[in-house]
Structure formats: C-alpha cells, structure tokens
Amino acid sequence: MNLISRWIALTLAVWLADVFVGGVNISDGIWNHLWVAALFGLANAVVGNIIRLVAFPALILTLGVFSIVVNAWMLIWVGDLSDALDVSGFWPAFWAGLIISVVSAILGRAKRDRD
C-alpha cells in the first residue's frame, strides 16, 4: 500500500508541475500522468540515486539544492523516453522538478504524520 500511496502522491506532483510550468506538457488523460509518474519515480530511484551518489560533494556544497537539478535531468530523460511527456528545456524541467520535490515532500510528510 505504501508504494501505491507514493505513486499517487507523485502523480499529483507531476500533474501540478504540468499545470503550473509552461514548458512541461503531459498528454491529456489520467493514465498518461500515472505513466509519467511511474517512469519518473523509477528513473529517480535507480539512475537519480546513482547520480546523487556521484554528485555528493555538489549536494553538500549546495545544501541539497543540486538535488533539484538531478530531478530536472531525470524529467528531461523521462521526456525523451516517453511520448506522453514533452519538456521544452532545462529551466522548465528545473521548475517542474522543484514543484515535484516540494509537493512530494509535503505529501510524504503528511502521510508519515498520519501514520
């Protein structure tokens, strides 16, 4: 159940990024949002963690802000992998990564507090 609630939270975060960031577009339909969230979560869990491990000094120097850059790269990569997501450049991906990070953190915190 934990995986499904995380997936739903990430889907909500991706949807909000789609709504508020002009250069990030997800094809219409809930299934496309669920698909993009699943790909983004998988890419972030596997490749994103490897990049964070390699870039650990940059994460320390920037007090974790570099993690948003990694999220932007993962979003661009998922956009290249999926026809459902179109990312028009680094800055839209950066702002979408920021929204996804903040919303996911807030929803994850709310779930932990509720449990």
What's the one-letter identity of residue 70?
Answer: V
CA–CA distances in Å: residue 89 to residues 5, 80, 86, 108: 30, 11, 9, 28
* pLDDT higher than threshold 80 for residue 113: no
List the structure tokens of 90: 């680094």
How many Å apart are CA 79 and CA 8, to the nearest integer? Answer: 19
Hunting for tokens 């979560």 — which residue is that?
Answer: 41
Hunting for tokens 């507090």 — which residue is that?
Answer: 113
DSSP string, 11-60: HHHHHHHHHH-TTEEE-SSHHHHHHHHHHHHHHIIIIIHHHHHHTHHHHH
DSSP string, 77-108: HHHHH-TTEEE-SHHHHHHHHHHHHHHHHHHH
pLDDT digits (tens, 9 = 90+) for 28-64: 889 999 999 999 999 988 998 899 899 999 989 998 8
Per the confidence metrics, is the pTM higher than 0.85? yes
When the pLDDT of each residue in the chain is averaged and rounded to a whole number, the result is 90
pLDDT value of position 1: 55
